[in-house]
Amino acid sequence: MDFSLYMEDMSKQAREELTNSGYEELKTPEEVDQALTRKGTTLVAINSMCGCAGGVARPAATNSIHFDKRPDHLVTVFAGQDREATDRARDYFEGFPPSSPSFALMKDGKIVTMVPREEIESSTPMEVVQRLQSLFDEHCEEY
């Protein structure tokens, strides 16, 4: 198989893991602006192709939302794939360096906090689920 076809297939699967779980995929800067300025809480999953994304971040993203409290909106951008959308999302994460995979929790268009790559790659999926759910418990309404 041609390498570019292989990578396209792999990135399609990585995207679908999140979109099939209810995350809205943002592929353009305009989509990012529209999504990240909404009222309420928004979890932004910054997806990537690395091992910790597939082994920890995506499983945590899909499992963390099965909780009494969760964000009003679930969105994702794909670092290294949809660069302009990812760069625009990172503009909203003031005070936090670029990191992928990672999670950003936003409220009413403002960054609340992030779970950066270093907290993901050194954790199990369940530890990241627990971290996200503790943030939901603190900042989100009952679902």
Q: How far apart are CA 134 and CA 113, in angstroms?
A: 12
Rounded average pLDDT over 115-121: 96
pLDDT tier for residue 80 given thresholds of 50, 70 and 90? confident
Which three-class secondary structure string do you get for 58-105? HHHHHHHCCCCECCCEEEEEECCCCHHHHHHHHHCCCCCCCCCCEEEE
Task: Give the up-direction half-sphere exposure of residue 29: CA atoms within 13 A in the CB hemisphere.
Answer: 7
pLDDT on residue 1: 56
pLDDT on residue 19: 96
Model-level pTM?
0.93
- Which tokens is 113 given? 């906090």
> What domains are there in the chain, each with its CATH number?
23-139 (3.40.30.10)
Q: How far apart are CA 35 and CA 49, in angstroms?
A: 23
Q: Which residue has the tokens 């994702």?
A: 76
Tell me the average pLDDT of the chain. Answer: 93
pLDDT on residue 123: 96
pLDDT on residue 49: 86
Whether 4 has a pLDDT exceeding 70, the answer reads: no
Tens digits of residue pLDDT in 16-63: 999 999 999 999 999 999 999 999 999 999 999 888 899 999 999 999
Which range is least confidently modeled, 11-15, 71-75, 95-99?
Answer: 11-15
Pairing relationship of beta strands 41-47 and 73-78 according to DSSP bridges: parallel
For the annotated catalytic residues, the residue numbers are 50, 52
pLDDT on residue 141: 87
